[in-house]
Structure 1
């Protein structure tokens, strides 16, 4: 144990790290909610304290900015010293830790949820994201994270809307870095022939299926895949052998054919339920595709 007298800090069981720090003498310099659903904060502590975190329910990335030479992480097996500015800590959502705080330390925190990490992994590639497991890291030296935090994120005006958009992008970059280097069940997989990843394919196709009775634009579908319209259209065609418009039209016609066999709805109702602007437009498209009119198709089935 250290020779300074510890003040018993809060035992934060299942409380967010942010709330736990708020119960100490730590001073919050700035905090912001980011557009990508994460949040960030800069804290300054000059204290003698013992702080406990237990199952905070979110992931926390910490970058030391100033001080921190005398802080220690302690548990029954080990005691690790802080080593000063630039050191990185990663605290997963289910972790437990105790921190012997002694003297001044200034640090930046990035808070992000397990769901956000899984979503980000899925957007990059098809992945069994339920098995993702971030490593519990203490006082590591990662020059890439350090440089991004100190040289890119810190100079930004966190209250400016434009800078907050840039900060959101930077936080995504940090999380991708964590996935690649500090996630025990994450492997980089190459895109198949430049097409959409299987995870994105499923997401787009599921949206199309539940929206066939509604107008569907290329912009909508591209936004679901989080791609530009140009890149989405190109990658969709590589994946499915046809353009998004052709695919949606075929799915509308397949739905219409099924409704015709049920003999429950009028042709005008089927046209609307299948997403066509009018009965005449529906009839023309149906005959072009099936080589028979909707009425004749219904009679034959």
Structure 2
């Protein structure tokens, strides 16, 4: 978020799509595409700016702005939408979108990231991967020249489920990613995420949080460790992070829950 005039270039030349989701109204500024000036319009809440980063972009923003940038490398779009077909790519017809076009799905996904942007140390990479993949899939389905293919209805095989659960139990204190779990199952990240949800009834990041809370309960009952030590052992950023997640899940704080079990 910025409250004054600002001139900025995008993230350099790369094979990626930059999708900017505006969170508030913004008056029109100026945009240059490879040195050529392009007309711009005022933006409203949920408006999108979309840029093909194979070209050079410069923008002069003359009004306060608040937005979230999604960067979609072609490799990510292929993995999420095209099942890693190396000779395929996603093309976006418009260089920038009309200001009257708003996207409530991308707006909600962008807002879901805001608490994590404020407290990045508490963000599970599984959750971030989940949101980015959902945004990439929706963006491509809605605006790309390649239609989103139907996902297979498969579940994890028993050996895959067993290995994933074993890995999660052994690495609760680390920042686990979807790609790590997918590699264990010998699947692409997109297929793994779908198969995991079909098997376990929830996305990986939510399942992981439940496992961390369960481990915290065990340590609260069977050890004298402090809440800070338990938070670290279970993969929470700190004691306050543990307290927020535990209280939201269980209904009481971990300290009170421990006291109740000791009575």
TM-score (norm 1): 0.44
Structure (1/2) with the larger helix percentage? 2
